[in-house]
């Protein structure tokens, strides 16, 4: 009896449509987050992440509608984020049906936001998203969708975020994101061993071996991927069978 | 039969409501003492801070009608904090008094493991369970908590182990409670809720 390693598909949306790498056979509307969510729920995903990558103010109501429709399809936890700047932003996302919220850029600008959210919703509902990029001799925190340096050391920021009340870290390697070369093992291992909360590894996944590696060598508690699931490069069911055969604890779908 | 969901502002009321409705159950949300006093079956959801739940129960004067209903034998299911609330107190807010239906207190899980205990874990059955009927003993359930009933639990029909053994499923006559989130636990969670509906009918 061990806590299972989680496999988490991520839906990047522009508010209402999945915008990255969607080429899903058998779906009438491949960019529909609700249809994808239902499929992943049935395939044995352990959780779902829904991100509003546009995160523009006027699209907010649309994103909240998307959360509501996606949540209605799920019997697994839902994390939502993108553009959450305040307690009220987070509350609307949670009331729409998300179990957890992610904060990123706004938390770097105002770290006390993490504490506010944690006090209000509990640490288990607050996911600190960190986009990290290797720079000379350390990992640097990037903000605004990985485009701008925050001039902060990722390891120290992760520890500070946890001290402020984050209950989980969603760690994306900017270096690996989109490359399909595998997760960033040294980055994930360094952060995972430096904090007392679960770490979700993200960025670079393609092969089942990448997942095995990030769980064993990278000390990740969960692994997230987007396009390889959307594009049917990797089925969640087959991935979990592969991991189970490698003696990695996963929750096998029936 | 109608299940009354005690709605004190917890984040997971909607998902619990949806999960029950998917099973065809009639539900109503309530935060009024009158409705709770008349309930046919009660469900106390909860996620977040222990103090938020206990304070809300007292501010809305729900403690007395809730205890009264449970003592009259109204079927009750506590989820997550709804399980923790049954004990005398919690280390998360030692100054507050729990519902005191079960002896002992809720404590922090040890710092030797990553907290919160977040994700899918399995159970160790300690005796026959009506709530876990037709559910594989290997089934996984979704947990998201840092505090738990780690004391010797006579009422627990299943334990979970994460840093320490703690009560994962409680059954004591009409009192049922689970530390995990059945509303987020896929098919196994749905079966557990179905079992509660059957037991409550």
ipTM rounded to 2 decimals:
0.91
CA distance between the termini of chain A = 18
B145 is catalytic: no
| Alpha-carbon radius of gyration of chain B | 15
Specify the pLDDT at position A254: 61
Tell which residue, B144, B148, B135, has the closest CA to residue B189: B135
pLDDT digits (tens, 9 = 90+) for B145-185: 999 999 866 789 999 999 999 999 999 999 999 999 999 99
Domain ranges of chain B: 2-200
Please check the confidence at residue B191 and state whether its pLDDT lies above 70. Answer: yes
Domain ranges of chain A: 6-245
Q: Single out the catalytic residue among A14, A46, A99, A131.
A: A131
Contact A124 B145 (CB under 8 A): yes
Q: Using CA atoms, how far apart are residues A18 and A168, in angstroms rounded to an integer?
A: 24
- CATH architecture type of domain B2-200: 3-Layer(aba) Sandwich (3.40)
Chain A residues within 8 A of B23 when measuring between CB atoms = none
User: Do B70 and B101 contact (CB within 8 A), yes or no?
Assistant: yes
Contact A125 B47 (CB under 8 A): yes
Specify the pLDDT at position A25: 45
User: Do A104 and A131 contact (CB within 8 A), yes or no?
Assistant: yes
pLDDT digits (tens, 9 = 90+) for B77-111: 999 999 999 999 999 999 999 999 999 999 999 99
Which residues on chain B place their C-beta less than 8 Å from a C-beta of chain A? 11-12, 14-15, 18-19, 22, 47-49, 111, 114-124, 140, 142, 144-146, 160-162, 181, 183-187, 189-190
What is the CATH class of A6-245? alpha beta
B58 φ, ψ to 5°?
-75, -40
Specify the pLDDT at position B48: 81
Q: CB-based contact (8 Å) between A167 and chain B?
A: yes
3-state SS class at B39: coil
B35 is catalytic: no
Q: Using CA atoms, how far apart are residues B38 and A11, in angstroms rounded to an integer?
A: 43
Query: SS3 string of chain A?
Result: CCCCCEEEEEEEECCCCECCCCCCCCCCCCCCHHHHHHHHHHHCCCCEEEEECCCCHHHHHHHHHHHHHHHHHCCCCEEEECCCCCHHHHHHHHHCCCCEEEECHHHHHCCHHHHHHHHHHCHHHEEEEEEEEEECCEEEEEECCCCEEEEEEHHHHHHHHHHHCCCEEEEEECCCCCCCCCCCHHHHHHHHHHCCCCEEEECCCCCHHHHHHHHHCCCCCEEEECHHHHCCCCCHHHHHHHHHHCCCCCCCCC
Chain B residues within 8 A of A67 when measuring between CB atoms = none
Specify the pLDDT at position B153: 65
What separation in angstroms does the CA of B93 have from each of A57, A166, B50, B55, B90? 38, 19, 7, 11, 6
Q: CB-based contact (8 Å) between A72 and chain B?
A: yes
- Give the pair of three-digit tokens for residue B119: 């994700």
CA–CA–CA angle B71, B74, B78 (5° rounding): 90
- pLDDT averaged per 10 residues, chain A (length 254): 93 85 48 93 96 79 94 95 94 92 96 95 95 96 90 97 98 93 97 97 96 98 94 92 97 79
B34 is catalytic: no
Specify the pLDDT at position A23: 45
* A27 cis-preceded (ω within 30 degrees of 0): no
């Amino acid at each position: 009896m061990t806590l299972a390693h989680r496999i988490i598909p991520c839906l990047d949306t522009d508010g209402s449509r999945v915008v990255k790498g969607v080429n899903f056979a058998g779906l009438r509307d491949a960019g529909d987050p609700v249809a994808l969510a239902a499929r992943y729920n049935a395939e044995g995903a352990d959780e779902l992440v829904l991100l509003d990558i546009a995160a523009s103010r006027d699209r907010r109501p649309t994103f909240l509608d998307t959360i509501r429709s996606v949540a209605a399809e799920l019997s697994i936890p839902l994390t939502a984020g993108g553009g959450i700047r305040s307690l009220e932003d987070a509350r609307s996302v949670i009331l729409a049906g998300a179990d957890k919220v992610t904060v990123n850029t706004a938390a770097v600008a105002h770290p006390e936001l993490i504490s506010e959210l944690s006090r209000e919703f509990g640490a288990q509902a607050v996911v600190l998203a960190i986009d990290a990029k290797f720079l000379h001799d350390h990992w640097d925190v990037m903000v605004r969708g990985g485009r701008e340096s925050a001039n902060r050391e990722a390891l120290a920021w992760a520890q500070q975020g946890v001290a402020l009340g984050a209950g989980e870290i969603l760690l994306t390697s900017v270096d690996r994101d989109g490359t399909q070369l595998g997760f960033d093992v040294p980055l994930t291992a360094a952060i995972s061993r430096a904090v007392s909360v679960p770490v979700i590894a993200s960025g670079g996944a393609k092969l089942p071996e990448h997942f095995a590696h990030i769980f064993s060598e990278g000390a990740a508690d969960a692994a997230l991927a987007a396009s390889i699931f959307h594009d049917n490069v990797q089925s969640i069911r087959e991935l979990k069978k592969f991991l189970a055969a490698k003696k990695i604890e996963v929750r096998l779908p029936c | 039969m109608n299940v009354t969901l005690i709605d004190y502002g917890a984040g997971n009321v909607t998902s619990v409501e949806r999960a029950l409705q998917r099973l065809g159950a009639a539900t109503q949300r309530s935060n009024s003492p009158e409705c709770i006093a008349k309930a046919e079956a009660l469900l106390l959801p909860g996620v977040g801070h222990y103090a938020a739940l206990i304070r809300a129960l007292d501010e809305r004067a729900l403690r007395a009608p809730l205890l009264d209903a449970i003592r009259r034998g109204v079927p009750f299911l506590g989820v997550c904090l709804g399980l923790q609330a049954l004990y005398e107190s919690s280390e998360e807010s030692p100054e507050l008094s729990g519902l005191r239906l079960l002896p002992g207190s809720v404590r922090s899980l040890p710092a030797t493991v990553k907290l919160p205990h977040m994700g899918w874990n399995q159970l160790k059955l300690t005796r026959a369970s009506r709530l876990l009927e037709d559910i594989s003993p290997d089934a996984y359930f979704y947990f998201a908590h840092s505090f738990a009933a780690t004391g010797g639990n006579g009422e627990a029909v299943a334990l979970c182990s994460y840093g320490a053994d703690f009560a994962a499923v409680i059954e004591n006559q009409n009192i049922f409670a689970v530390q995990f989130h059945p509303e987020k636990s896929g098919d196994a969670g749905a079966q557990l809720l179905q079992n509660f509906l059957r037991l409550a009918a």
